[in-house]
Amino acid sequence: MLRAGAAPTEAGEAALLALLNLAVRDERNKTKIVDAGALEPLLGYLQSSDLNLQEYATAAVLTLSASSTNKPIISSSGAIPLLVKVLKEGNPQAKNDAVMALYNLSTITDNLQAILAVQPIPPLIELLKGGKRSSKTADKCCALLESLLAFDQCRVALTSEEGGVLTIVEVLEEGSLQGREHAVGALLTMCESDRSKYRDLILNEGAIPGLLELTVHGTPKSRMKAHVLLDLLRNSPYSRSKLQPDTLENIVTNIASQIDGEDRGGKAKKMLAEMVKVSMEQSLRHLQRRASFA
C-alpha cells in the first residue's frame, strides 16, 4: 500500500498518515518501520509531484530520523539530497519538516559534507528570511548552519548569498533563546575560522547590539559565546587570560569607534549602558532575595 506509484493518491496519503501515527512518540515502532523496508517507498514519495504526498513523506522521514538507530540507515539511503530538494521546492510545511530532518541527520558528523554537497545554503537562508525569527524552524536552520559553517564551503556560500549574514544577525536579535544561541555560535564559528576575513562583515551587519544583549539575557552558552565574539570583533582582541571585569566596556568602546556612522556607534554605546543598568538591577534583586532568606 505504501509503494509509490502503486496506489491511488488517496491510498498513498492514508498509508503515510498511518505510518506517521505508528511512529510518533514510539521509538520501537520507528525502528520496526525502517527495518520493514519503508524507506524505499518513502524516498519515492519525497520525489512525488503531488505536494501533499511529498509533505506527508517528509514528515514521516522527519519522525523516523529522530531515532538514533535510524539516522545512519536514513543517511545511507540517499535521503539527504532529496530532503534538500524538498527544502528548495516543497510546500511550506514540507520545507519546515525537511530542515528539521536534515538537522537530525547532521548530528552524524560525516553527514555534514553530504549536506553541503547539495548546496543547502540558499534555501536555508530563504526559509529563514520568510519565517518568524523566533520559530522552531529558525532554531533548526541556525543550528544546522552553525554546524555547516565549520566548513569553508559553507562560509563562502553564506557570504555569497544576499543578506545571508544579515539574516543570522536578525535571528541573533529577534530569535528564541535557542535560536539566538545558535546564531551567535554561527557568527563565532565564522570569525574564529578567519577573523581578518569575517570581522568587518559581521560588524557591518550590525551584530553588536544583539551581542551585547546576549551577554545579559542569553543562555549560559550564549553569554559565553557573545563575550568571546565581542572580544574577537575588537581591533586587537584580548587573550582570554587577560580578560578583566571592565573588558566588555572596553570592547564596545573599541568596536563602536571603528563602525562607520555615528548612529551605529551611538546605538552600541547606548545598548551597553542599558545592559550595565539591567545587570546592576539584577544583582541588586539577587542580593535582596538573599537578604530576605538570611
CATH number at residue 28: 1.25.10.10
pLDDT in tens, 175-217: 999 999 999 999 999 999 999 999 999 999 999 999 999 999 9
Residues written for the chain: 294
52 part of a folded domain:
yes
Condensed to tens digits (0 to 9), the pLDDT of residues 43-81 reads: 999 999 999 999 999 999 999 999 999 999 999 999 999
Q: For residue 55, is it within any domain?
A: yes
* Tens digit of each residue's pLDDT (9 = 90 or more) over 84-127: 999 999 999 999 999 999 999 999 999 999 999 999 999 999 99
Is 35 within a domain?
Answer: yes
pTM above 0.85, yes or no: no
Q: Give the count of domains, the chain.
A: 1
Can you tell me the distance from the alpha carbon of 258 to that of 204, in angstroms, rounded to the nearest whole number? 10
Residue owning grid cell 505508528: 22
C-alpha cell at 288: 535582596
Which residue segment(s) compose the domain that 75 sits in? 1-114
Is 59 within the bounds of a domain? yes
Flag whether 199 is in a domain: no
- Look at residue 249 and tell me if it is in a domain: no
* Domain assignment of residue 277, yes or no: no
3-state secondary structure the chain: CCCCCCCCHHHHHHHHHHHHHHHCCCHHHHHHHHHCCCHHHHHHHHCCCCHHHHHHHHHHHHHHHCCCCCHHHHHHCCHHHHHHHHHHHCCHHHHHHHHHHHHHHHCCCCHHHHHHCCCCHHHHHHHHHHCCCCCHHHHHHHHHHHHHCCCHHHHHHHHHCCCHHHHHHHHHHHCCHHHHHHHHHHHHHHHHHCHHHHHHHHHHCCCHHHHHHHHHHCCHHHHHHHHHHHHHHCCCCCCHHHCCCCHHHHHHHHHHCCCCCHHHHHHHHHHHHHHHHHHHHHHHHHHHHHHHHC
C-alpha cell at 99: 530542515
Q: Is 196 within a domain?
A: no
